Chains A and B, each alone.
Chain A
Amino acid sequence: MIFHPGILALLLGSALTTSMLCYSAYEGVRIIRNWDIRSGSERQLELERRTYLVSTVMSYVLGFQLLSLFLFIYTADTLSPLFIGAMCAAGSLNVNGFGYSALVLKIVSCLLAGLWLVVNFTDNRAYDYPLIRKKYWLLLFITPFLIAETSVQAGYLLGLRPNIITSCCGTLFSTDAKTVMSEFLALPRLLSEAAFFLSAPITVALGLYVYLRSKGAYLFSIVSFIHFLISIGALISFISIYFYELPTHHCPFCILHPEYGYVGYPMYLAILVSAVSGLGTGIINPFRNIASLCNVIPRIQKRLALISILSNSAFVLIAGYGILFSNLSMAAY
């Protein structure tokens, strides 16, 4: 393990968020088993109070998760000089087998926590807690992801061994430099360009449809999810190279560096927000027939669709700005 402040921060933060979530899951089990809205018993009152605690805890958990996702990438980035052959996070995440799994788990748990908050928000709009059991089942579903994320992240961070000088000689002779995985997700450029330029307008159009007509939420949320994956692929395979102005450099992390004006942060944030809001419209759709929610859900869906449209457009605008004003032209390729 490297005694790096960033690593200590990540380990501490994850341990705290996971323990908070485990506590919430425990409360969740109690609520699932004993919830009875018609009862006026002491226990029911107590449970109703506990739901406030769990909602508060979960909103903090999401906030912390989002921050820790970026802190994780940034820490991996700063650690890269310690490893032979690593030039940015792409290399240092590859130092041991846990790096990329930790990253994927972090993204998944961010999305799930975001969806939970959407469901929770919807549930709190109604007077009779119609989604309470479903909401806590979802919480129980999320908890293992966060536990896995914390353990995998700990496995990654604790397993890091820097290649430093030992007393006999430099270490480089025993360990050969690993190849940097910068090309690991580089899809064929034309394919990803076509996919992105097709899926971006479709997603926005469907979002507008949901916004204006309050229909088609399922389709919109499926398309949003596909668009989420395509956007990440597109960012790596053809958008990033315009920012780097280097046709061979497909790196998902260098774009977060100060030399590119931290442009990666708003882009990744926009992708995440549009995925959560897009998926959110679908996840609350099955409940629109519940009496206490039938007026609430269309309004929330409209708002989510709008957020998704805006963040998608923000992403396209930033990417478009990068492509149009770049000194790189791919016309010859």
Chain B
Amino acid sequence: MGAIEKQRNILDFTLSSLGRRKGKNIALVVVYTFVIFLLASVLFFTHSLKKEAFLILQDAPEMTVQRLLAGRQDLIPTHYIDTIRQIRGVQSVAPRLWGYYYDAMSGANYTLMVNAELNDRAGEIIIGNGVSMRSMSGKRNQALRRNDIIPFKTYDGSVLTLKVRGLLPFASELVTADLILVSEADFRKLFSIANDQATDLVLNVRNAKELSTIAAKITQIHPDTRPILREEILRTYDAVFDWRGGVIFMVLSGVFFAFIILAWDKATGLSAEEKREIGILKAIGWETSDILLMKFWEGSAVSMAAFFMGIFLAYLHIFLASSILFEPVLKGWSVLYPSFRLTPYISVYHIATLFFLTVIPYTVVTIVPSWRSATIDPDSVMRM
């Protein structure tokens, strides 16, 4: 009998013996699957958000310069542009005007941003999908359309009405859900911002290796500024999402330990029938190593079934059901939720990580019990 044939026969026997104790094993697999489902969901979700953030930030400016006033971000005088442009290696400097507007009617915060294309068409705006849904009553059939009017309350108390010129494409929903593009004149009128000030400055730099030198020079010339690099934003997002995922993992570790105790308990508490079975197997010539092999296959079958089902369910949950379970926790808080589907993505790395976090602890706690059952004396069991 070849080695493979032997393994096959033992696996065959194991599966049929698992089938004979359906109730007990199904309960274990269900709990196991649930644990893996939870962990896998967290992993997939945080990773997809990271990827989404990465894709969005690809187009972000290489460097943003903000001005700080008493440790808080403040408007930056536009004459800083001239001095920054003088720095060797800086390709272009442009002011940006953007901010948040709280809409009392819908209770939502909009992001307002000046778009150069609207500068010669003051009074018109382009809005994101979330804004169009929320502005009126939230009902879909009453969504804002082209040429509708939105009233804004300016910072000097008057009312500014702006006409919707168009909607932003749905594809960019994640970033544009709460976005309103306005002209520079309207923006300054709305927030009473003087003409020589901007929210921040964005820089293009010819050589990426010079970024840190240029940033250092900017802080030297204007000590009240804070340059932020795109790489730093990316890095921070990465760390923040990892951290959120890790925290959820720690919270779930309670569930996990409960599961481990259950697995341990199931593995140690062999029924008299199972003991008899092992006793008979040994009496008819199975060796201890064969029983251990059987136990190995049993553990593998249970683990693999739960592992793949858990991953499959997590996949459905995150990428098809929009991760309903913990979306609010991991994504952050907002009135205008962008509704979006994450790009499905699973890597071998995720599977390996999950394997380490679930299957290995399970295996470790079942080694000793399965060894104990494999070394049962046949006669002592059968005499019972």
Contacts and interface: CB of A to CB of B under 8 A. Distances in A.
Nearest to A70: B352
A9 interface: yes
Given A13-B360, A81-B238, A170 B246 contact: no
Interface string B213-235: 00110010000001111011111
A235 B371 CA distance: 42
B367 A56 contact: yes
Interface string B279-310: 00000000011001000100000000000000
A57 B353 CA distance: 21
Given A4-B246, A12-B357, A53 B235 contact: no
Contact of A56 (B250, B292, B349, B354): B292
B235 A81 contact: yes
Interface in B319-378: 348-349, 352-357, 360-361, 363-364, 367-368, 371, 374-375
Size category of the binding interface on chain B:
35 or more
B25 interface: no
Contacts, number: 127
Interface stretch (A60-68, A108-116, A205-213): A60-68
A29 B46 CA distance: 46
A286 B219 CA distance: 70
B226 A56 contact: no
B227 to A, nearest CB: 7
A84 B229 CA distance: 12
A173 B212 contact: yes
A88 interface: no
Interface of B: 42-43, 46, 71, 212, 215-216, 219, 226-229, 231-236, 238-240, 242-243, 245-247, 249-250, 288-289, 292, 296, 348-349, 352-357, 360-361, 363-364, 367-368, 371, 374-375
A117 to B, nearest CB: 14
Contacts of B231: 81, 84
Interface residues of A, number: 44
Interface in A170-191: 170-173, 177
A167 B70 CA distance: 12
Interface string A301-333: 000000000000000000000000000000000
A8 B212 CA distance: 33
Given A52-B289, A165-B236, A5 B246 contact: yes
Contacts of B355: 67
Q: Which of A3, A12, A74 has the most CB of B within 10 A?
A: A3
A170 B215 contact: yes
Contacts of A177: 212
Q: Which of B215, B348, B349 has the most CB of A within 10 A?
A: B349
